[in-house]
Amino acid sequence: MPGTFCETRAYPTIGIILLGGISNNTRRFPLHDSAGVAYMLDDGSGGFVTTRMFSSHIWQGFVNGKEVNAMDTRSPFKVIKKYRDSMLASVKDPADTAFSFYSENTGILSGSSDAAAASFGRCIEEFSRGELDESVLEDDLRGISESVGRSLKGGLTATFAVNGRIITENLAPASAFSDFRIVGCNFSANRNPSDIIHSNIVRSERYADRIRTAGERVASVRMLAQEHRYSDIFELAQKDTEDYHNLIESVGVRVINHEMRSFIDYLKTIRDRTWCSYIVTGGTNVFAVVNHEDTDKITELSERFGFTPYILKIAGAPVTLQKNF
Instruction: Count CB-CB contacts under 10 A for residue 127.
Output: 27
Average pLDDT, the chain: 95
**3-state secondary structure at position 322:** strand
State yes or no: pLDDT of 116 exceeds 90: yes
Express each pLDDT in 201-225 by its tens digit.
999 999 999 999 999 999 999 999 9
Which residue, 10, 18, 47, is CA-closest to 283?
A: 18
Continuous H helices in 251-287: 258-270
Instruction: Give the mean model confidence (pLDDT) for residues 182-190.
Output: 93
State yes or no: pLDDT of 130 exceeds 90: no
As beta bridge partners, residue 51 has: 8, 103
| Residues recorded for the chain | 325
Q: Which amino acid is at 114?
A: D
